[in-house]
Amino acid sequence: MKMEGEEGEGEEAAEVPSEEVKEASPPSENSDQELIVESLKSISNILLHNETGQVHFFDLRITFLLTALRMDVRAQLVQELHGISLLGNQLDATLGLCWPDTLETARAGLEVGEQLPPLSRQQTELTMEILKILFNITFDTSRHKVDEEEAAEYRHLGALLRHCLMSHADGEERTEEFHSHTVNLLGNLPLPCLDVLLVPKVQQGSIEYMGVNMDAVNMLLEFMEKTLDRVLPPLRDVTNKPEVGSALRNKLVRIMTSIDTDVKDCAAEFLFVLCKESVSRFIKYTGYGNAAGLLAARGLLRGGRDSGIYSEDEESDTEEYREAKAHINPITGVVEEEQPNPMEGMTEEQKELEAMKLVHMFDRLSRPSSDDSGYPTRSAQRRRHPSTLQPGPPSKTHQLISPTGPQSVC
């Protein structure tokens, strides 16, 4: 293990054998303690070999893990260490901000309204770690009322998040990840504190609505549109079943048939809402077989739309879908080869006989329970007539079903 020398001798770090450290340390009480010691040694070596920015990154990463795994650490950071204010200041310093007004931010060295340059890689990484920690310690904020002091903290944080939303990282994928962490944290803030998104004055080139700057709202809408397009893109491939494939929609449809009831219900509800609670659109993207469970639970098996309030429908069918629509099997949601007509070549008498067989089978299925002869079993008779143990006379339908005629029930 490397240990820094004292009195400015940090550059000449000496390598101390692990055996000597073990001898100098008191014997561990259990294997967990030994594991902790070895982990600390590894972390020390990693930090000593990295620059200050990397050390800061590792500090934030460890804090993120602690707040994710330990509720007591989370509470201590919020209550005793004033974590929201502390991390807000870190975010401010990392982004290099100045404050032209109380809740209005700007990048230091740039004029208000001037286009922001992309954040450096180090700025992006540090900022995302801070956002993740803030998410951990604020995720239950909406469950309790906040006082004036807390509301002021959250409004200040909201102003910082607005700046994050309007900033870009180096590269589209990195920017999307950066905005994703920002939006996640915005969802934790109390609703009355989100008015800070509309505070900045309207500048030249801003999106304006009724005299209000809507740039941040526009960024949120663009982000959500990209996210929704990944889940339910315009339907083009109708040759594979909805649950087959690696797209996000395919994975969600597969989850809809999971044995875990809670998970499959969440997946089905999520897709149903994305389809604006329209039964026809839901079946289009999932197939009737996969959609039947949720539709039955909501009483929508006959079609229609649930009571949610959504924007007006737009024509979303692609040219590929319109061409194949007439040949799509609504149960499976894919185009299937035409099957031969099973009635082809039959005489009218044969067709009538097959129809009677089908009627008898439906009659059989409609009864609570029956033995092989087609008569109700004793348990079924008890359920239907608790006061009697003997069945009544067989019906004519039963005589049609049973070729051997009436039999006594044991």
**Per-residue pLDDT at 96:** 93
CA distance 127 to 54: 13
Q: How far apart are the first and last CA of the chain?
A: 84
Separation of alpha carbons 209 and 244, rounded Å:
44
The pLDDT value recorded for residue 322 is 80
Residues 6+ apart with CB under 8 A from 242: 249, 250, 253, 285, 286, 287, 290, 333, 334
**Which residue has tokens 């006379």?**
393
- Count Cβ neighbours within 10 Å for each residue of 44-60 and write b for 16 or more, e otherwise: eeeeeeeeeeeebbeeb
Residue-level pLDDT at 182: 96
Residues 143, 144, 145, 149, Cα dihedral to 10°: -110
The b-or-e profile of 104-115 (16+ CB within 10 A means b, else e) is: bbbbeeeeeeee
Other C-beta atoms lying within 10 Å of the C-beta of residue 136: 23
Indicate the residue type of 270.
F
Tell me how far apart the alpha carbons of residues 160 and 150 are, in angstroms, rounded to a whole number: 15
Q: What is the pLDDT of residue 318?
A: 80
Which mean pLDDT values do the consecutive 10-residue runs of the chain (410 residues) have? 41 44 48 75 68 79 92 90 94 93 88 83 95 93 79 94 94 94 93 91 87 92 84 82 88 89 89 88 90 89 69 68 80 80 85 90 74 50 46 44 42
Nearest by Cα to 316 from 269, 276, 268 = 276
pLDDT of residue 8: 44
182, two tokens: 């920002």
How many other β-carbons are positioned within 10 Å of the β-carbon of residue 179? 22
Among 7, 94, 15, which residue's Cα sits nearest to residue 48? Answer: 15
Q: Which two tokens stand for residue 351?
A: 């067709």
Tens digits of residue pLDDT in 3-62 = 444 344 444 444 444 444 444 445 445 667 787 777 777 767 766 666 666 778 888 999
Buried-exposed string 382-402: b where 16+ CB fall within 10 A, e elsewhere: eeeeeeeeebeebeeebeebe
- DSSP 8-class letter at 72: H
Cβ atoms of 98 and 104 within 8 Å: the answer is: no
Distance (Å, whole) CA 182 – CA 169 = 13
Q: What is the pLDDT of residue 330?
A: 81
Separation of alpha carbons 90 and 96, rounded Å = 10
Q: Which pLDDT score is estimated for 389?
A: 42
Helix (H, G, I), strand (E, B) or coil at 359: helix
Residue 146: what pLDDT?
83
CB 108 within 8 A of CB 102: no
**Is this structure's pTM higher than 0.85?**
no
